[in-house]
């Protein structure tokens, strides 16, 4: 049998080579490409037999609302209507405060819950908390009023999100010796409690690796961070022991920055409950990025997530061994997002990143942002879903907290991730991402499935189809029904540049029979 199989596969390979070298007709090429795809991935997915790898936090898929969105202020400027590069000296434009009471925003955010909502970002480092709006005092750049924070607290309660934040560390938050004082942070904690909520987790500051340009005092270094972090850690343990301490929340690589993450951790000593970091694949044209969208589906592009995680895993192991890892800020391109980040093209990165990180044991991934600039899941003016929002919604509804081994090596352009279903005992969900722009792929399924395929007529378009039907809110603003297509056991074809969730309702997978598989 093995000899026959090997001969058959070898014949298939020769057929593929012949088709491409003998000037075959287009129809013949398509037929051969499909046949080769089937042979390349003809191992059967036996959903009942997939083994558990671990679990992720019930709020694994989460998001950011930048502090500057809450207060209003100068945020990343929209791209020019033409294709010309943005002016690097004119990166920002004023944005009014986000309306966190907006019914559409709350409806769409609630559909992604349970989640964490992180209210932080660069602007949080120099934001003064006050009872009423006004001009910021010396040493601060903006004001967060009690009414604005109430909006955050009420939004979080309405959409079933836990609050994550960071605190001001600018010169105004320090004593005469330049040492950080917890006064402002204490007011935020006390106000949150008075409003009937809590801060679930907090980083000391946003991205201390960029302290020199992030609102910290001039000359701020690792030693100053270590001194301040110890004050912060001791205050947190006394004032709000129920709040998880996250850190260091660095961005960028291990070198090339004014303060390296290794130096930050060495100076601060132990004391983290969760190890946090930030990751972007690149920077947007606003900050000098010049990336080609042709690379957006390449393994090199998608695997940048893995490379960054390995860097921070090594640092975690050295300084905070065994602490769970949270990615508290992530998107395709920093500085407001790249030109294709609001299109279907970035949906591949979004879902592939979730799959990779869950498989690697990362507990929480917070997308930046929910509804601001080009990397927002929602359009910032209309709050209408962008393609990645629909992907996020399908992940929430189909991928539970128990992570499974997908069970077979896949071809290079086929990425497979498996989880227990979040609510259906024993059921398994498989995410299959075909990153090839031209070649279909195929899987053989052991059982019947419910199929959800995302596809788009244009990869850089803003309209996405589910099983051939365009996804959009209804005329009265409601979410559409996400209707699956019933598929029998056997071979299933995956179109080029498509994303497919396959849900096995009758898998009866032992790892998915306990309550751990749900939310």
Distances (CA, A) of 27 to 13, 19, 24, 41, 447: 18, 11, 8, 22, 31
Q: What are phi and psi of 476, to 5 degrees?
A: -100, 15
Q: Which residues pair with 367 in a beta bridge?
A: 63, 330
Q: Which residues pair with 199 in a beta bridge?
A: 163
Cβ of 275: how many Cβ atoms within 10 Å? Answer: 25
Cα 298 off chain centre by: 18
Q: Residue 100 is encoded by which pair of tokens?
A: 């966190």
**Top-level class of domain 57-80+90-400:** alpha beta
* pLDDT string in tens for the chain (519-residue length): 333 333 333 333 333 333 333 333 333 333 333 334 333 344 789 999 999 999 999 999 999 999 999 999 999 999 987 777 777 778 999 999 999 999 999 999 999 999 999 999 999 999 999 999 999 999 999 999 999 999 999 999 999 999 999 999 999 999 999 999 999 999 999 999 999 999 999 999 999 999 988 999 999 999 999 999 999 999 999 999 999 999 999 997 544 557 999 999 999 999 999 999 999 999 999 999 999 999 999 999 999 999 999 999 999 999 999 999 999 999 999 999 999 999 999 999 999 999 999 999 999 999 999 999 999 999 999 999 999 999 999 999 999 999 999 987 778 899 999 999 999 999 999 999 999 999 999 999 999 999 999 999 999 999 999 999 999 999 999 999 999 999 999 999 999 999 999 999 999 999 999 754 555
Enumerate the domain spans of the chain: 40-54+405-512, 57-80+90-400
Model-wide pTM > 0.85: yes
Return the pLDDT at 4. 35
Return the pLDDT at 258. 77
CATH superfamily entry for domain 40-54+405-512: Golgi alpha-mannosidase II (2.60.40.1180)
Return the pLDDT at 253. 53
Q: Which residues pair with 334 in a beta bridge?
A: 283
């Amino acid at each position: 049998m093995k000899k026959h199989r090997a001969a058959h596969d070898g014949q298939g390979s020769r057929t593929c080579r012949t088709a491409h070298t003998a000037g075959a007709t287009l129809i013949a090429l398509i037929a051969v490409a499909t046949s080769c795809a089937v042979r390349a991935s003809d191992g059967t997915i036996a959903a009942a037999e997939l083994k558990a790898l671990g679990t992720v936090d019930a709020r694994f898929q989460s998001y950011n609302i930048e502090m500057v969105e809450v207060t209003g202020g100068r945020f990343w400027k929209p791209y020019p209507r033409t294709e010309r590069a943005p002016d690097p000296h004119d990166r920002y434009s004023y944005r009014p405060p986000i309306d966190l009471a907006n019914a559409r925003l709350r409806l769409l955010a609630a559909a992604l819950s349970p989640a964490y909502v992180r209210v932080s970002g660069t602007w949080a480092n120099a934001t003064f908390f006050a009872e009423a709006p006004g001009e910021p005092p010396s040493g601060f750049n903006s004001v967060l009023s009690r009414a604005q924070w109430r909006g955050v607290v009420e939004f979080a309660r309405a959409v079933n999100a836990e609050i994550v934040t960071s605190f001001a560390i600018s010169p105004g938050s320090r004593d005469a010796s330049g040492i950080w004082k917890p006064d402002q942070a204490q007011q935020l904690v006390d106000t949150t409690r008075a409003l009937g909520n809590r801060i679930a987790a907090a980083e000391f500051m946003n991205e201390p690796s960029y302290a020199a340009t992030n609102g910290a005092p001039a000359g701020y270094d690792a030693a100053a961070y270590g001194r301040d972090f110890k004050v912060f850690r001791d205050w947190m343990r006394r004032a709000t022991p129920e709040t998880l301490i996250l850190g260091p929340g660095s961005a960028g690589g291990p070198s090339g920055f004014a303060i390296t993450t290794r130096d930050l951790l060495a100076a601060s000593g132990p004391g983290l409950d969760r190890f946090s970091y930030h990751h972007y694949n690149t920077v947007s044209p606003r900050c000098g990025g010049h990336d080609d969208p042709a690379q957006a589906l390449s393994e090199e592009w998608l695997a940048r997530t893995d490379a960054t995680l390995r860097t921070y895993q090594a640092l975690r192991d050295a300084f905070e061994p065994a602490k769970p890892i949270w990615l508290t800020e992530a998107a395709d391109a920093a500085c407001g997002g790249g030109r294709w980040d609001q299109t279907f093209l970035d949906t591949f990165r979004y879902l592939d990143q979730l799959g990779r990180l869950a498989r690697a044991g990362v507990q929480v991934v917070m997308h930046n942002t929910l509804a601001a600039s080009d990397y927002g899941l929602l359009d910032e003016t209309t709050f209408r879903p962008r393609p990645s929002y629909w992907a996020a919604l399908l992940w929430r509804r189909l991928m539970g907290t128990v992570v499974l081994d997908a069970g077979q090596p896949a071809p290079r352009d086929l990425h497979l991730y498996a989880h227990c279903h979040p609510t259906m005992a024993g059921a398994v969900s498989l995410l299959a991402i075909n990153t090839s722009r031209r070649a279909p792929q195929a899987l053989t399924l052991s059982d019947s499935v419910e199929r959800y395929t995302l596809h788009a007529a244009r990869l850089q378009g803003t309209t996405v189809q589910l099983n051939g039907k365009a996804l959009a809110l209804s005329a009265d603003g409601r979410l559409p029904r996400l209707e699956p297509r019933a598929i029998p056991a056997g071979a299933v074809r995956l179109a080029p540049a498509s994303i497919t969730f396959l849900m096995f309702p009758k898998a009866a997978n032992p790892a998915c029979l306990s309550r751990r598989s749900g939310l």
